[in-house]
């Protein structure tokens, strides 16, 4: 079966044909560890996870690398604000990120690569670009990429070349900037006192800049070029990130990598759209973000967020609202209950206590077609619902098929415990909600006692009642 991805490079949905069928080379831009990522960021990593799972589901071997940006303008700025070393500061947030990744059932890549472990590789690329005359040294000792020397500059973001020429007179040293500011960008930043103890001294930095004293640090964009090429080679199949990475980050990655090797860097560039809040991009700088902890503090399982994400295609914008998340929670719980009602675990089945199910090939074909079609998880989920409701499929087969689908969905069906809330309790909880609505607190308390006596606890949260086993 063929896989299709929407390739930002060609602005078309294309059939996926790997460079070398024996192993797909896949790189994802990972987090900048200067704070807790927000749930919008986790859309990028969940989407990369689904993409990888779809490749695996189609029997490809996948080598996946995700970077951890532990050096850039923001990590340096904020580590100093907190009076911590860059290492101590970034390791703290890296830990937090890895915990969240587990909670979201994101398969770990083959390697999480830390930028600070690859400075030598970055230096080599900068040296090559200097040698080729594509990069130059400025007065302060920084090294800039001369975008006019790379005729394909702008091919990913479709930067209009005329505009580029008009604006391309200056240089830009900061890591992030917009398309209107397309200029020569910093590959290597000469040291200044804001960098404190953070610096390296490669040979090309010598003699440059009165204040830098030959010291400096890499720019953000060179980091991903170096980590991708060091682990996956000069040419890779798929590179992912959010749409805001298209310019300048990915445009600059192409310029650096292709400028250095003369070969096409990435075959398929695939980008996820934004999570919005009230119609605006969720972002740290806009102070309109939530972290995964904000969800778990409200008693919401991170997998509910994953499920909510899967209900939309990665390429469409989604507006985050608590009520929608709550509705996803209800839907996921229903799915889980229906799954558990299908019978005992496969382990028991294998012990001979239950018939071992077989994957239903018709449903599998439909599901695979959907998810392989540019990761159409909404249709994949509706196939799952159709399967669960289909009375012509034996329960054991349904179970086996759901577990197979879950290789892509990653909703953790295999790990579900049997402590799902029974119908009887759900009925009492609904009655209690009504009693509370009518301000009949005596009845509400009686119902709580009854629920407790049946072995369940009920808590009142601002998102309604939360029930759990005592
Ligand atoms: P950053 O830490 O800002 O580099 O972002 C990490 C990843 O999250 C990148 O791939 C971004 O494109 C992505 N991203 C940032 N904000 C959002 C958002 N609101 N919705 C979806 N993805 C986002
Ligand atoms: Zn990157």
Write down the pLDDT at residue 464: 78
Ligand 1, atom 14, residue with closest C-alpha? 41
Tell me, using a 6 A CB cutoff, whether residue 315 lines ligand 1. no
Residues 135 and 173 in one domain: yes
For residue 57, is it within any domain?
yes
Q: Which atom of ligand 1 is nearest to the CA of 28?
A: 10
Write down the pLDDT at residue 390: 97
Which stretches in the chain have pLDDT values below 70? 160-169, 208-211, 344-355, 419-420
Tell me, using a 6 A CB cutoff, whether residue 43 lines ligand 1. yes
Tell me, using a 6 A CB cutoff, whether residue 241 lines ligand 1. yes
Residues 255 and 322 in one domain: no
Tell me, using a 6 A CB cutoff, whether residue 93 lines ligand 1. no
Write down the pLDDT at residue 469: 76
pTM, 2 dp: 0.89
251-261 vs 119-131: helix axis angle to the nearest 10? 70
Nearest residue to 452 via CA among 420, 428, 416:
428
Structural domain range at position 299:
292-415
For residue 203, is it within any domain?
yes
Tell me, using a 6 A CB cutoff, whether residue 67 lines ligand 1. no
For residue 280, is it within any domain?
no
Residues 402 and 432 in one domain: no
Write down the pLDDT at residue 214: 86
Domain end position, chosen among 221, 239, 272: 272
Structural domain total, the chain? 3
CATH code: domain of residue 122 = 3.40.50.620
Residues 265 and 296 in one domain: no
Write down the pLDDT at residue 352: 53
Q: How close is the Cα of 71 to the center of ligand 2, in Å?
A: 12
Write down the pLDDT at residue 354: 54
Beta bridge partner(s), residue 460: 465
Residues 201 and 69 in one domain: yes
Long-range contacts of 304-307 (CB under 8 A, 24+ apart): 304/328, 304/329, 304/332, 305/39, 305/42, 305/104, 306/46, 306/104, 306/105, 306/410, 306/411, 307/331, 307/332, 307/411
Choose one of 35, 41, 97, 309 to mutate for the ligand 1 pocket test, by most ligand atoms within 8 angstroms of C-beta: 41
Residues 445 and 300 in one domain: no
Residues 226 and 329 in one domain: no
Binding residues for Zn(2+): 29, 224, 249, 253
Q: How close is the Cα of 29 to the center of ligand 1, in Å?
A: 9
Q: Scanning the structure block, which residue is given the tokens 């500059």?
A: 153
Ligand 1, atom 15, residue with closest C-alpha? 41
Write down the pLDDT at residue 466: 78
Tell me, using a 6 A CB cutoff, whether residue 281 lines ligand 1. yes
């Amino acid at each position: 079966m063929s896989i299709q991805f929407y390739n930002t490079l060609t602005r078309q949905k294309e059939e996926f044909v790997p460079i070398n069928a024996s192993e797909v080379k896949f790189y994802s831009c990972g987090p900048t560890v200067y704070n807790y990522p927000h749930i919008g960021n986790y859309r990028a990593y969940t989407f990369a996870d689904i993409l990888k799972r779809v490749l695996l589901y189609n029997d490809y071997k996948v080598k996946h690398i995700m970077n951890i940006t532990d050096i850039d303008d923001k990590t340096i700025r904020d580590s100093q604000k907190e009076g911590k070393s860059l290492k101590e500061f970034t390791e703290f947030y890296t830990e937090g990120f890895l915990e969240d990744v587990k909670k979201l059932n994101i398969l770990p890549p083959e390697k999480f690569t830390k930028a600070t472990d690859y400075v030598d590789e970055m230096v080599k690329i900068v040296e090559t670009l200097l040698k080729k005359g594509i990069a130059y040294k400025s007065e302060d000792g920084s090294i800039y990429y001369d975008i006019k020397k790379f005729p394909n500059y702008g091919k990913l973001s479709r930067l209009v070349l005329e505009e580029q020429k008009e604006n391309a007179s200056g240089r830009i040293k900061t890591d992030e900037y917009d398309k209107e500011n397309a200029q020569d960008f910093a590959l290597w930043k000469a040291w200044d006192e804001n960098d404190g103890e953070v610096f390296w001294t490669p040979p090309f930095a010598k003699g440059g800049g009165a204040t830098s004293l030959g010291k400096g640090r890499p720019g953000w964009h060179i980091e991903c070029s170096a980590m991708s090429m060091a682990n996956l080679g000069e040419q890779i199949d798929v590179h992912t990130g959010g749409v805001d990475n298209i310019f300048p980050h990915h445009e600059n990655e192409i310029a650096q990598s292709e400028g250095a090797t003369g070969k096409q860097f990435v075959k398929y560039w695939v980008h996820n759209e934004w999570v919005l809040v009230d119609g605006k991009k969720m972002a740290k700088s806009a102070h309109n973000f939530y972290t995964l902890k904000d969800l778990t503090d409200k008693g919401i399982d991170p997998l509910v967020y994953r499920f909510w994400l899967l209900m939309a295609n990665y390429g469409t914008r989604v507006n985050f609202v608590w009520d929608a998340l709550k509705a996803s929670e209800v839907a996921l719980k229903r799915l889980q209950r229906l799954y558990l009602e299908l019978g005992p675990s496969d382990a028991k089945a294998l012990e001979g206590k239950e018939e071992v199910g077989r994957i239903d090939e018709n449903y599998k074909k439909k599901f695979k077609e959907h998810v392989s079609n540019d990761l159409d998880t909404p249709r994949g989920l509706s196939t799952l619902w159709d399967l669960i409701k289909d009375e012509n499929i034996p329960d054991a087969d349904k179970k086996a098929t759901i577990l197979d689908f879950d290789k892509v969905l990653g909703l953790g069906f295999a790990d579900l415990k049997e402590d799902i809330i029974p119908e009887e309790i759900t009925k009492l909880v609904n009655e209690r909600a009504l009693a509370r609505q009518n301000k009949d607190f005596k009845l509400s308390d009686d119902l709580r006692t009854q629920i407790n006596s049946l072995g369940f606890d009920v808590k009142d949260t601002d998102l309604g009642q939360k029930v759990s086993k005592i």
